[in-house]
Amino acid sequence: MPVKTYSSGMFSKLAFSITAILETDIMLIDEVLSVGDQKFKKKSYAKMKNLISDRKRTVVIVSHNISTLNELCDTVMWMHDGVIKMMGEPKEVLDKYTEFMK
């Protein structure tokens, strides 16, 4: 199937798969767990945990999923309207973010 015919979900799966095997110093993952079926999400989550735990690269995760950020990150940055509001331990930052969003 030609790539130009892929849905946005299929394209995201392909992009994550390619990025995961490249040996880059920095990896940017943008909302990867928001697309795909449950099987893909489970495999992607496990792969992200491995990529983060091997400490061979910096992994930047962009996500609105608080539980994912809490589980995967050792540092969280909260941005609002392009401005960094807070950066630090996941629980502290995400608690403030949750309070702000109420």
pLDDT in tens, 24-65: 888 888 877 776 678 878 888 888 888 888 877 888 989 888
Instruction: Characterize 58-81 residue by residue with b for buried, 16 or more Cβ atoms within 10 angstroms of its Cβ, and e for exposed.
Output: ebebebeeeebbeebbeebebeee
Indicate the pTM of the whole model: 0.72
pLDDT higher than threshold 80 for residue 9:
no
Helices 8-21 and 38-53 pack at an angle, to 10 degrees, of 30
Question: Residue 79's pLDDT band (boundaries 50, 70, 90)?
Answer: very high
For residues 16 and 27, the answer to whether their CB atoms sit within 8 Å is no
Question: Residue 22's pLDDT band (boundaries 50, 70, 90)?
Answer: confident
Give domain limits for the chain. Answer: 1-63, 65-102
CA dihedral 67, 51, 90, 81 (to 10 degrees): -90
What are the tokens at 65? Answer: 């999923």
Give me the mean pLDDT over the 5-32 stretch: 82
CA dihedral 42, 71, 31, 12 (to 10 degrees): -30
Q: Among 64-68, 91-95, 97-101, which stretch is predicted with the lowest mean pLDDT? A: 64-68
For residues 44 and 33, the answer to whether their CB atoms sit within 8 Å is yes
Q: Within the chain, how many helices (H) and strands (E) appear?
A: 4, 4
The predicted structure's pLDDT at residue 100: 94
